[in-house]
Chain A
Amino acid sequence: NAGVTQTPKFQVLKTGQSMTLQCAQDMNHEYMSWYRQDPGMGLRLIHYSVGAGITDQGEVPNGYNVSRSTTEDFPLRLLSAAPSQTSVYFCATRLRDSPYEQYFGPGTRLTVT
């Protein structure tokens, strides 16, 4: 039981490049989310999904796309990376019903130069 896994752990991109951050879970959790963590700002919600085929925007969605074709996977796509997207990205999952705590993956540290 791996829980929530994220790949890659580290990534350096040049401005304008695209990439996909992967998130997978084996806990059969309905809800999945992407957060970014920036110094002094806590974690902010980018996009989330309440089930396969359903996604919605969070607090800071611009520059990111998501899709959810299976319960297990929730990839985050950066279409044209910008230096402002330099951050640590966390994927989180939780059950639809109680308990409501979210479980986080180990994070991906992304640097855009």
Chain B
Amino acid sequence: AQKVTQAQTEISVVEKEDVTLDCVYETRDTTYYLFWYKQPPSGELVFLIRRNSFDEQNEISGRYSWNFQKSTSSFNFTITASQVVDSAVYFCALSEANYGGATNKLIFGTGTLLAVQP
């Protein structure tokens, strides 16, 4: 069965600290897709990144970086030099594949609330 675990319920850091949000997933498929979404206090869900299971390259986008490791079924998210605007709930999600593409069923983790203090 598919499952996404975000063991860190809440993290509090001081501005400019680096912080890593953990995501561990379970799936029986060999092809799958992983996502991170951000939910700021305003409530909307903002897409951050998608990673395919066959592409294990890590990715960096500004202060954000993602570490995908199939061997440990993890897809961790690091924010470097955190800022107050990074305060939000972050969700990791998994979608399995169907006929070569992603299914419409996103399985979400329970989210990690990140509080960045000034």
Binding site for B on A (CB under 8 A): 31, 33, 35, 40-45, 48, 50, 58-59, 88, 90, 92, 94, 96-104, 106-107
Contacts and interface: CB of A to CB of B under 8 A. Distances in A.
A42 B43 contact: no
Interface stretch (B69-77, B80-88, B107-115): B107-115
Interface of B is mostly: strand
Interface in B59-111: 91, 93, 95, 101-102, 104-106, 108-111
- Chain B, interface size category, equals 20 to 34
Contact of A42 (B50, B105, B111): B111
Contact of B101 (A43, A44, A97): A97
Contacts of B104: 31, 33, 48, 50, 94
Contact of A100 (B37, B44, B95): B95
A45 B45 contact: no
A44 B109 CA distance: 10
Given A99-B50, A100-B33, A100-B95, A48 B105 contact: yes
